[in-house]
Amino acid sequence: MTTIRDVAREAGVSVATVSRIINNKGEASPETIARVEQVIKRLNYKPNLLAKSLSKRTSDLIGLLVPTLNNPFFPELVKEIETAANAEGYNIFLCNSDDQRSKVKYYLDSMVDHYVSGAIINSLHVNADDLAMLEARGIRTITIDRANFEHAYSAVTVDHQLGAWKAANHLICDSGCSNIVFLSGPKDEKSSSDRFAGFRKAVEHAPHPVNTSIVYGDFSMESGYHEIKRYIESGKTFDSIVSSNDAMAIGAIHACNEFHIRMPEQVKIVGYDNISSGSFITPTLTTVDQKKSEIGKIAVQELIRLIQDKNGQSKQYNLEPDLIIRNSSATK
């Protein structure tokens, strides 16, 4: 691999001169600059970006901590954030914690070691001390949605109570459903409890009596499949499902198909997230759109504002989700 020393030797100049020319610093004659640039091109030399970061104590990297890449929502969110960051001249340092505190700690330390300019955090296992540590080291932060605590730093949240209310209200008022299963995420997760609160509010204000049941998954397709399969095998009847995310809703659809339950004729299903695959399954999935693209743009733009203005005040953004009606809950 070509090094800066190779370039300097071929061009007949010092390493310091090559470094100054690469970084547009210091004086050099036009002839020297042209000769060095020709050698760089001929040798296909690529500057060591990590070394530049170490010398400058900063970089064009934005740390992005996500809880998992198994849930389709998060790879799609990562893509939106990466697109927004690249458009502003930043690259993403992706950190997948697998929802493990040990990995969260490792990646937070790695962000410091790699001199990221800012950090976008989406994790249940990050606490206020973690954010304070990053900020104290000059790494501005913004959390997305999953933080289970209040903090003074920038944040982008989604009104999950409203989203779940829209999902349940659609089934109750538009379709007349009266026996609904709420397929929840983990009990101890704030987004799960927020979505259940919105669901419960819709039920409490329903124009007709509504029977409800709740089963708990872990946001994976497998858990949605197994929980609804067990529910069907128990002999309990239901006419609809509100799922806390699309992955579990897709699993629920597979379970219903396995038992030859027709959708939407016998059971109507609404998911949550608006992942791309929801438009390509049968039936296509009614869902609540969290607005991934908007989340990505806001998170990146807010973080860049904070990076550029070290004394900039934090801001909180709360987005209103939309209901997208497709065939899984269609009415005649």
Task: Name residues whose C-beta falls within 8 Å of residue 310's C-beta, 6 or more positions apart in sequence.
Answer: 138, 140
Q: In whole angstroms, give the CA distance from residue 306 to residue 138.
A: 10
Walk me through the domains of the chain, giving residue ranges and CATH numbers: 4-47 (1.10.260.40), 57-158+292-321 (3.40.50.2300), 160-290+324-329 (3.40.50.2300)
pLDDT of the residue at 152: 86
pLDDT of the residue at 29: 86
Neighbours of 239 (CB within 10 A): 17
φ, ψ (nearest 5 deg) of residue 146: -90, -5
Q: In whole angstroms, give the CA distance from residue 221 to residue 290.
A: 18
pLDDT of the residue at 205: 97
Q: In whole angstroms, give the CA distance from residue 256 to residue 244.
A: 17
Q: In whole angstroms, give the CA distance from residue 186 to residue 193.
A: 9
Reference 65, options 3, 161, 130, 151; nearest CA is 130
The string of pLDDT tens digits covering residues 69-116 is 999 999 999 999 999 999 999 999 999 999 899 999 999 999 988 889
The string of pLDDT tens digits covering residues 171-225 is 999 999 999 999 999 988 888 999 999 999 999 999 999 999 999 999 999 999 9
Whether the per-residue pLDDT at 320 is higher than 80: the answer is yes
